[in-house]
Amino acid sequence: MSKTISGFSKLSKSKKIDWIVDTYFSNAEDAKTKIKQYWNTNDKLQQLHDEFIENTITNYYLPLGVAPNFLINDKLYTIPMAIEESSVVAAASKAAKFWLARGGFKTTVISTTKIGQVHFMYKGDFKKLESFFNYVKPILIQESEAITKNMTKRGGGILDIELRDKTTEIANYYQLHVSFETLDAMGANFINSCLEQFAKTLKNKALNFDLFSEEEKQIEIVMSILSNYVPDCLVRAEVNCPVEKLSEDSNITGEAFARKFIQAVNIAEIEPFRAVTHNKGVMNGIDAVVLATGNDFRAVEAGVHAYASRNGRYSSLSHAKIENGIFKFWMEIPLALGTVGGLTGLHPLVKLSLEMLHKPSAKELMQIVAVAGLAQNFAALRSLTTTGIQQGHMKMHLMNILNQFEANDIEKTALTKHFETNAVTHNAVIEALKALRD
Ligand code: MEV
């Protein structure tokens, strides 16, 4: 039976586990063993993980795989990917090899601007608010100098502060809409600290602004927070090759492949039901690298999907066409990433992943992540429009099914061989395992 508890966060780790296993598990000892078997034997490493969040009881593992042979702007990369879905790393590796033989991926960073907003309420004359804003703008910048000093020295900082009138949508609602350059940092802490300082200055200076009436002086701050929508922090990734070079075997010509592939992209451009799944395939690649490099995949997901709806209808992130006999497949996506700060200097596997990627700048990481997304999307569309997705997917899923039925190594070897030439379905695997065991 569930029960409430107060002061849980103050309990020691072992007391927290005692409470959890006694409250929720019929076999408390067994539950405790399951929790503890994922503890790291290196106490310092375990403590590091314990302290990432509150109320840690154990670690939750994801595989960290690698996809080699990515040629990006003529430089070779092996891309680390943290993901649980069976076929993703294999698909990425396949796409990397396919494009390695056709000139690789070309990428450019289009822009790197990030956004934050102070949302506030002001009851009064807009003209007076405008005058106040013009007066207070340099003071906002000046009073945040303690926060921005280091970033400015490195070439980043506050780019602009705008006053935005949102009163047609909500009465008395205005914003300070602020743009930032945060260089190699994702910048969330930097942006939020600046915004909270702006909010303080805005509120305080309004109290003494002579043009304001007593009511106008009472600016009410609602909240100050960065936006994860970053349409001006944009990266482009592209592959291209002569159409006839697209064919790898005699089953399908390059022309036929390109035609079907472009049809599939066109469908995702106009049909939201398909676009969501199409983009999910893109995010398979993106999230896996974002996670492996210690970045915030929820922020990236939110921003990317908002971008996919920017024209009023949710649509494909990627595009494809044939131009003068050249097949082109590309994507522009917003990615706010960091290679310094946050988890990047803390998590040993994040450090390892970044080193594997030649210690990239945030701009370089944007390009690598975009490529992982485009590669994943290419691999999915290639399967979907030729063999169908299940063939490759179920082949990779075979090991999961075998593990579910506790197949031993001999059984795994025999059945992997068997399914090289037989279609993998859940039932077929169970039948084959049963036959082998009988
Ligand atoms: C599965 O994780 C991703 C796909 O559904 C993507 C797609 O349909 O394009 C295969």
Give DSSP secondary structure letters for 343-411: GGGT-HHHHHHHHHTTS--HHHHHHHHHHHHHHHHHHHHHHHHTT-HHHHHHHHHHHHHHHHTT--HHH
Match 């485009």 to its residue by tokens. Answer: 374
Per-residue DSSP letter, 193: H
Q: Atom 4 of ligand 1 has which residue's CA nearest to it?
A: 281
CA–CA gap between residue 90 and residue 99 (Å, rounded): 14
CA 281–ligand 1 middle distance (angstroms): 4
CA–CA gap between residue 209 and residue 134 (Å, rounded): 12
Query: Which residue is catalytic, options 13, 18, 49, 85?
Result: 85
Mean pLDDT of 30-45: 98
**Residue 327 and residue 246 in contact, taking contact as beta carbons nearer than 8 Å:** yes
pLDDT given at position 396? 77
CA 278–ligand 1 middle distance (angstroms): 6
CA 130–ligand 1 middle distance (angstroms): 49
Q: Is the pLDDT of residue 392 over 80?
A: no
- Angle between helix axes 272-292 and 297-308 (nearest 10 degrees) is 150
pLDDT tens track for 72-87: 999 999 999 999 998 9
Query: Which residue is catalytic, options 106, 280, 321, 418?
Result: 280
SS3 168: coil
Element (DSSP H or E) covering residue 208: none
Q: Which long-range contacts (CB under 8 A, 24 or more apart) does 61-68 make?
A: 62/291, 64/292, 64/349, 64/353, 65/89, 66/356, 67/92, 67/93, 67/96, 67/372, 67/375, 68/93, 68/96
Listed range (75-84, 122-131, 277-286, 382-391) with the worst mean pLDDT: 382-391
278 is catalytic: no
Q: How many CA atoms lie within 13 A of 413 on its CB side?
A: 2
> Do strands 75-82 and 318-323 pair parallel, antiparallel, or not at all (unpaired)?
unpaired
pLDDT tens track for 159-181: 999 999 999 999 999 999 999 99
Nearest partner of 150 among 185, 196, 200, judged by Cα: 185
Distance (Å) of CA 277 to CA 39, 50, 274, 310: 36, 35, 5, 17
The finding on whether 412 has its CB within 6 A of some atom of ligand 1 is: no
From 276, 277, 378, give the residue whose CB has the most ligand 1 atoms within 8 Å, as the site to mutate: 277
Distance (Å) of CA 244 to CA 103, 131, 194, 203, 264: 14, 63, 54, 64, 19
Cα torsion angle, 360, 363, 367, 373, sign: positive
CA–CA gap between residue 389 and residue 408 (Å, rounded): 28
**Residue 309 and residue 334 in contact, taking contact as beta carbons nearer than 8 Å:** no
> Do strands 326-334 and 234-242 pair parallel, antiparallel, or not at all (unpaired)?
antiparallel
The finding on whether 280 has its CB within 6 A of some atom of ligand 1 is: yes
The finding on whether 393 has its CB within 6 A of some atom of ligand 1 is: no
Mean pLDDT of 209-216: 98
The finding on whether 376 has its CB within 6 A of some atom of ligand 1 is: no
Across all residues in the chain, what is the average pLDDT?
Answer: 96
CA 282–ligand 1 middle distance (angstroms): 8
Q: Is the pLDDT of residue 414 over 70?
A: yes
SS3 225: strand
Torsions phi, psi of 154, nearest 5? -85, -5
Please give the domain boundaries of the chain with CATH numbers for all domains. 8-50 (no CATH), 66-111+234-387 (3.90.770.10), 114-226 (3.30.70.420), 393-437 (no CATH)
State the virtual CA torsion across 29, 33, 34, 40 in degrees, nearest 10.
150
pLDDT tens track for 219-263: 999 999 999 999 999 999 999 999 999 998 778 999 999 999 999
pLDDT given at position 347? 96
pLDDT tens track for 135-144: 999 999 999 9
Q: Is the pLDDT of residue 50 over 90?
A: yes
CA–CA gap between residue 335 and residue 351 (Å, rounded): 20
CA–CA gap between residue 90 and residue 94 (Å, rounded): 6
Torsions phi, psi of 167, nearest 5? -70, -15
> Do strands 173-181 and 220-227 pair parallel, antiparallel, or not at all (unpaired)?
unpaired
State the virtual CA torsion across 115, 119, 125, 129 in degrees, nearest 10.
-50
The tokens for 8 are 């849980």
CA 280–ligand 1 middle distance (angstroms): 6
CA–CA gap between residue 333 and residue 372 (Å, rounded): 12
The finding on whether 185 has its CB within 6 A of some atom of ligand 1 is: no
Nearest partner of 118 among 263, 213, 50, 219, judged by Cα: 219
SS3 221: strand
pLDDT given at position 391? 77
Give the nearest ligand 1 atom to 383 CA: 10
pLDDT tens track for 256-273: 999 999 999 999 999 999
CA 235–ligand 1 middle distance (angstroms): 22
The finding on whether 102 has its CB within 6 A of some atom of ligand 1 is: no
The finding on whether 389 has its CB within 6 A of some atom of ligand 1 is: yes
* Cβ neighbours of residue 14 closer than 8 Å, sequence gap 6 or more: none
The finding on whether 385 has its CB within 6 A of some atom of ligand 1 is: no
pLDDT given at position 1? 59
CA–CA gap between residue 344 and residue 360 (Å, rounded): 12
3 is catalytic: no
pLDDT given at position 82? 98
85 is catalytic: yes
pLDDT tens track for 98-155: 999 999 999 999 999 999 999 999 999 999 999 999 999 999 999 999 999 999 999 9
The finding on whether 382 has its CB within 6 A of some atom of ligand 1 is: no
296 is catalytic: yes
